[in-house]
Structures are given as structure tokens and as C-alpha cells.
Structure 1
């Protein structure tokens, strides 16, 4: 049972994300080149984890440590020693063959044995009366599906009412992709060491890691510098620093003109949401090309949007001449009307933000272009790549890279841990946002936000990164009263507040 502990305070997390092999290499360099013993690193990891337990679960007196046979288990034995020395009641259950424990992990297992006597093998069930479970079963090296007794143990952890702290990464979660390997521990918090693992922030990672705390274990800065980050973490706290107060002599012509194209019959709301989001993000002017039947309703609700009934592609030409950027797709549909407008815009030289049916049409007639930002959800990404949604979910980093390579420009793969991939940098993953965003219209708002930033002069990769984080941060503000029932329109006031520097 996952309580999703809110970590006390908002812990600092670095922006660099690494592959498991890179973190293992940092570990090796620290030991072999810089002469810091592996046992010393294990002591530091255990101490950091135990300090976190004391801070976040001060009432916990009965600790269960579940260990495996590798170094992750060794970290668990250090936590068990420290808990014993602090006068807590400790039980250690071990998975795997005892004779496979070696090196520093064995040294710490024997130290624990000296203090406490025997530890037990996991026999199929967990003791019922515990205040906290420490998951030290698998580290970051896990590559295959969890099976047998190992899977049974992880399922038992998730069935327990006790909160769970995972050491380094929740057991069963793939460190590079964030995919659950059959079954995985749903932790309330994870304390991760040396370098942040990129899989913790996307795919299944956010649902299984809980609150994430980082400790570099005092690894020398030269060791960290030896590895080029495999991905970067984006959040609003960092991105908002790119926004400066406006000049006192500003006028609307300085902030661009967004043209939103979409809203087939019955889908006018999507196009209107997109247009309003562009305005709230700070675009100088926003025009909307939609079905004539929607003009009156949009004008009545949001008169600042310049709405045009467009029945055929030729009518777009005059609007395009005034536009700085085009947002294409919200509510567009894939019938004759939507398809003809999409066709007309494919060759535009203007920056193009494509979403929803614009992406579905692109999947049917693939074309590359470097002046565009694509914003698919996993289903649309699967259509664009000609694969299953499951394949996209299994390795979101690979999927976003393939999207960018195949279609050009900037690819934004939405979902938990939205990814941004441009041609000239490593992927970035956004750690803002919440499950309340799983409702209709959220993607239309994101399209408008990104288009609004492009209109104001940001490059396509910058606009995508800032836009994704602003969108997620606004949803986080709006979700303070609860995630269920969160509407896309609830984001508008928060977008406006956040996009003005000086507002938290």
C-alpha cells in the first residue's frame, strides 16, 4: 500500500541524469582512482538512508530490512546496524543464496550478525507488525523480469500497510527506462546515490519512487565530471529563471502572433483552450481559424481571441501572413476539412506546433521538417513510430529520440515525466506535473503554451522545455485542492501567475 510520503521540505535534486552503467563507472573511479574504499561508500549510503528515516519517520521503532545478495543489500545491512545501535527493533529478511553475498556487502552482513545474531531468509511472507520497510533487494543492475520468490517478496512489500523506503531505486524498476520489470516495489520515498538515475523520472518511475532524495556520498567532483549526463531534468524552479520582466515600453507587436488552426464541428473547445493558453502565456496576439459555427461562442467567452470562420484552405493565406507561429491540431479532426487545412500548412516556413489530429495525419503521411514541435501522447507517438503504445512505454527515451530523428524539429513525448528531445542535445525530462492532468484539454493547453513562448522569441527547444515545465507547475498549483476533477481551464490563472517573474 503506497502512502506516498511527502518528503519534508523540497529536497534539492541535481539536473544531470545518468544511465546505470555511468553510475557504476563513477563508483569504480571513486574506489580505484581516488582511493575511497567501497565499504566507506556503503557506510555513507547507509548513514544517509538512516538519517532520512529519522527525519521522516521519527515514530518508527520497528524496522524491517529486506536485502538481496548484492551491494544494495550491503547498504541495507548498514541501515540495520545503525537502527540497532539507535535502540530500534530490527529484522532483516534476506532473498537469494546466502553464499552469493560477497565483498563489502558480506563484511556489513557479518557486522550486523555480530551485533544482532542471525538474520533470516525470506520464507514467503513478511512479519505483520512493522513501522517501516527498507527495500534493499535489487540495485541499479537489474535487467530481467523479477520472478519466483523475488517477485513474491516485492508483492508482499506492496501489500503491507507499512511505509517503504527504497535504497538507490525501488527494486524491480529499470534504472535506465523506468519500466517495471514484471513487478516492483512501490516506495513512499527513494534515496538515490552518486548520480540520479534517469528511469526514476519517467515511464513507471514517478509512480514507484515516491519522494526522491539524493546523496552524492561525497564522490569527488572530478568523478562526476568524467561522465556526460545521459539526460537532464527540467523543472519550473530552474526554467522560470529564463523569464525576465518586460520592458516598460513594451507593445503587443513585440510578443508575436499565434495562429491556432483547429476545432472541427463539436471540437471547438480544444481550439479555444489552445488559443487562450497562448494568450495567458504572454503572446501579443492570438488568432483562431476554426469552423464558422464556433465563432460566436468563442467571441462571447474570450473576446481577446481573434476568431475567423475558415471553410477552406485558401482562407488561411491572409492569416498566415500576419502570424509568427502556427499551432495546428487541437480539435482539427481527420475528415476532409481538417485534412485540407493540415495539407495547406505542411509547407509553411513558420514555426509549427503540432498536436492531436495534426499528428495522426502526419502518421499517415510522414514528412520531416525542422521548423516544428511535435507534442504526442504515447498513443499518438505509437502511431507516428508504427509500433505499440506498450513499446513506447517500455523505453520512452528511445521513443522520443526516434520521433525526433524521423520527423525533425523538437519532439515532446507527453506522459508521466514528459520528455523533450531536440537534434543537438540529450533528452530532457520534466519532473513537474501530476496525475490530475489525465483529463481532456490538457494537451491543447500545452500546445498553446509552447506556441506562446515561440511567439515571444524563444527557440523551439527552449519554448518546449519552458512550456512543458510551466504547464506541469500550473497543474501542480491547481491540484492543491485535489487531483481528481482537475480541468484544463483550471490551469489558466496559474499559468498567468507563474509566467510573471517574482511569483512562486
Structure 2
């Protein structure tokens, strides 16, 4: 897009760089209006050029400014050299960066490394990143935090932890998943006046999920027209998972929810949620009648991997039902891989690793590639959960950025399965049910922590917010 804007639309590269610097400086003034000093860390490429523009604007605004150069500015070329000369002409000071030097400033600007990073950060650049991260003042990153991979969101050895990242022209997919949430802070976007047709002519590598409203219910709707969800799980000692999935499906609007579980649980599971229809099922044959009535099946919450679990799992995947496969259902699938076009798989990174016969670290190394690989191998829609959950369907890769660290507690995935199942039962497509389910699930968690904070958040705390969100 940079190339098209410059070569085909006639926007000079230095003009784009100047606009980028202006946008970043405006963000500094807006976010830290009382700042009186700025320290700008510049590297050797166009990212450094953005930094010198910011520094020049700060000098013109009367701030105390110092640029700490990791690369000699006289060795810059092209637009970056022009930006340095503009800063020098404004009377700006440049100091060669040295590890351990004392830096006294209100705001730090990270303009060290841009989006082209393809190897771990080492040497003086790594020392500069460590210096930035050790400083108590807030940091604004230019385009992307230095050290973060723009494609995967992974840290390349070390990376700047920013309070705010101002990114230009195209949003980089690596800003939205992997380790990015820990490093980017607030993400601000600036189009820099690039014409809309530049964007329309290129296919996005991924899309961000946005909330869409469910259609208004027909005034004559009844429970049979709102879908029947069947949850299969709850091995002895693990009844809570199926129970939470079932309640989530009810709260999101499924007309009927049945649970097939161990006989020992069936009479107790709905004591405090009598709307759930709980059935003791000990054989695959006993499951047949329940499967026949269901519109959507969730298999896996608390299922285990016993002979009982395997028998029920095999019965489900042999059926033609729409289904969500979660938890131990995914582990059983990994042991006997098969593909279906009409299911949604919901692995966390560990389960994703088992589905692809690799390590959890391998999944996290490139979550986008992992989601696509699962979808290609197993069909349907593949969700890879985590910070920046990914949803891969046949023709689209989407990322959802709702949710928070309070969700790192048991049962959250079970609730998600119930949410998606209810949306599917109410007529949404596999792709839309998966995307909207993930988005609303995370947003419900965000609403739940607003008052009381993230620690101690329980999966059950999401229920009232889920109901609120699907009625908006």
C-alpha cells in the first residue's frame, strides 16, 4: 500500500512520513498533555524517519527533546535522511545511544525498528529496548513496537512494551494476536490520507470481527423455532463443564437445551437451573433418541477420554448434525483425525497442537498459520483461542480482540461452546456463529470485569452479560 500510494497515486514518500510523524505527535499531545519533555529512540530505517519528524514537531512545540540514535543519523538515506535534516534544522539534539545512560523524560518514543523485522533483536538495539522498558515514563510506539513481528505478533528476542501504538496506512495482523496484547497498549490507526481505492484493490490477510445484531424475533416464535441444543459431556467428577455450556446456550437464546451425561450426574445437574433437560446416558445406543431431536450438538465439555467418552464421541461425529467440538472432544479427534464441513472446532493452543501433531509453542509461533492449517485439515470452522482469538473459515481468517486476562480460569471454553451452539441453533451460519460467539463471549467478560476487576472472574459471571449482549 505504501508503494501504490507513492508510485501510483503520486503521494511523495516524505509526505507520508511527515503525516505519520504528525499523527504520532498529536497522539502524544492528546494522551499526555502535561508532558514537557520527549525522548525519541531512532534506528536506521524509515521508522527512524518517523521518529525524527516527531522530534522536530516536539521542538517546534517548545518541548525539551533529545533523540537517542542507535544508528548514526548521517548514514540514513532517502526520506529518513530528509527527516533527520529537518530535525537538525529545527535545532534538535542527537545523542548516540549508550547502554546505562541516564534518561530524564516525560514520554519515550519508540522509532527503532519497523515492520520488516525477520530475526531476533540483538546488540545495541536490544539494549535500547531494555532501556526503554526499564524507564518509568510511558512509551508510544511508531507503527509497531520494536521487536514485535508484524505478521505473527510474536516477540523477536525482546520488544518494547508500549502504552500506545500508532500504526499507519494498513493495520498489521501481528498487532492483534500472539504476544501483542502485552506490548502494543492502545492501538491507534492513521490512514494518512491514502485514497480508499488503494485499500479496495488489495485482499486483507485477516479481518477483525465486529459485533452484528441478531435479527428481531418473530412475534409468534416458540421454543421449537429457536433451536434445540444437545450438550454431550460430564464424565464422573466433571459435571460442571456440561452444565455451564448448557446454561450459556439458554442465556444466548436457544429454545431448548438437553444434556447427555453420566447417570450419576443427570438427577443433580439441573437443581439450580431446572430449564436444562438432563439425561443419563451410558451407551451410544441410548444417545440416538436425543441426537434425533437435536438441531446442534456440542461434544466435549467434561467428556473425558474413557471408553464411554469414545463411544459417545464416535456416535456424534458419525451423525449429520451441526456440531461444536471442544475440550476432550478435540483430544479424541486428534487421536482419530477426520474432516467434516459442518462443524466448529474450538481448541486452545494446547489442543491445537495435538490436532496438528506439534507443540503448543509451535502453535503460538504463528497462530494465523495454525488456524488455517486446522481448518484445511479438519474442515468446517477452526477457532484458535487466546489473546486475539482467531476464527478460520473456508474463505476468511478473522481475529477478535474482546476479552481479558480474567478469562484465564476454568469453564470459560465451556461457556463459549454453549454460546456458539445457541447462535448456530438460531440460524446463524457456521462462520457467523463462530465469529459472533467469540466476540460476544469476550465482550461479556470485558463487561464483567469493569467494576470488580479481572482476578476472581468466574465463567458463570458472564451469563447476565451474554443475555444483555444478544439483545442489543
Is the structural similarity TM-score above 0.5? yes
Instruction: Return 123-132 or 384-393, whichever deviates more.
Output: 123-132
Deviation at 1:345, TM superposition (A): 1.2
Contiguous gaps of at least 5 residues in structure 1: 1-25
Q: Deviations over 1:360-385 (max 9, x none)?
A: 01111111111110000000000100
Instruction: Return 27-36 or 96-105, whichever deviates more.
Output: 96-105
Is the 8 Å Cα contact of residues 353 and 374 (structure 1) preserved in structure 2? yes
Match of 1:342 among 303, 313, 318: 313
Alignment-derived partner of residue 435 in structure 2:
465
The alignment status of 1:177 with 2:152, answered yes or no, reads yes
Is the 8 Å Cα contact of residues 37 and 107 (structure 2) preserved in structure 1? yes
Q: Deviations over 1:340-398 (max 9, x none)?
A: 11111121100110000000011111111111100000000001000111110010010
Is the 8 Å Cα contact of residues 73 and 84 (structure 2) preserved in structure 1? no
Match of 2:397 among 427, 446, 451: 427
Alignment-derived partner of residue 359 in structure 1:
330
The alignment status of 1:498 with 2:469, answered yes or no, reads yes
Is the 8 Å Cα contact of residues 125 and 153 (structure 1) preserved in structure 2? no
| Counterpart Cα distance in 1 of 2:162 and 2:85 | 27
| Counterpart Cα distance in 2 of 1:402 and 1:427 | 11
| Counterpart Cα distance in 2 of 1:396 and 1:73 | 29
Deviation at 1:245, TM superposition (A): 2.2
Match of 2:380 among 393, 409, 414: 409
Q: Deviations over 1:59-113 (max 9, x none)?
A: 1111100011101100000110111111110010011244431111111111211
Q: Deviations over 1:377-435 (max 9, x none)?
A: 00000010001111100100100000001111100000000000111x22000011111
Alignment-derived partner of residue 478 in structure 1:
448
| Counterpart Cα distance in 2 of 1:160 and 1:118 | 20
TM-score (norm 1): 0.92
Is the 8 Å Cα contact of residues 65 and 92 (structure 2) preserved in structure 1? no
The alignment status of 1:289 with 2:264, answered yes or no, reads no
TM-score (norm 2): 0.98
Aligned pairs (5 A) from 1:53-452: 53-234=28-209, 238-241=210-213, 243-423=214-394, 425-452=395-422
| Counterpart Cα distance in 1 of 2:283 and 2:75 | 71
Alpha carbons of structure 1 residues 35 and 323: separation in structure 2 relative to 1, 3 Å: same
Is the 8 Å Cα contact of residues 420 and 427 (structure 1) preserved in structure 2? yes
Alignment-derived partner of residue 455 in structure 1:
425
Is the 8 Å Cα contact of residues 55 and 92 (structure 2) preserved in structure 1? no
| Counterpart Cα distance in 1 of 2:155 and 2:21 | 25
**RMSD of equivalent CA atoms:** 1.0
Is the 8 Å Cα contact of residues 126 and 157 (structure 1) preserved in structure 2? no
Deviation at 1:326, TM superposition (A): 0.4
Runs in 1 of length 4+ with deviation above 4 angstroms? none
Secondary structure, counterpart of 2:447 in structure 1:
helix
| Counterpart Cα distance in 2 of 1:68 and 1:125 | 18
Is the 8 Å Cα contact of residues 326 and 451 (structure 1) preserved in structure 2? yes
Secondary structure, counterpart of 1:327 in structure 2:
strand
Deviation at 1:117, TM superposition (A): 4.7
Q: Deviations over 1:469-495 (max 9, x none)?
A: 010110100011211111000000000
| Counterpart Cα distance in 2 of 1:71 and 1:247 | 56
- Higher relative contact order by CA 8 Å / sep ≥ 6: 1 or 2? 1
Aligned length: 471
| Counterpart Cα distance in 1 of 2:4 and 2:116 | 17
Contiguous gaps of at least 5 residues in structure 2: none
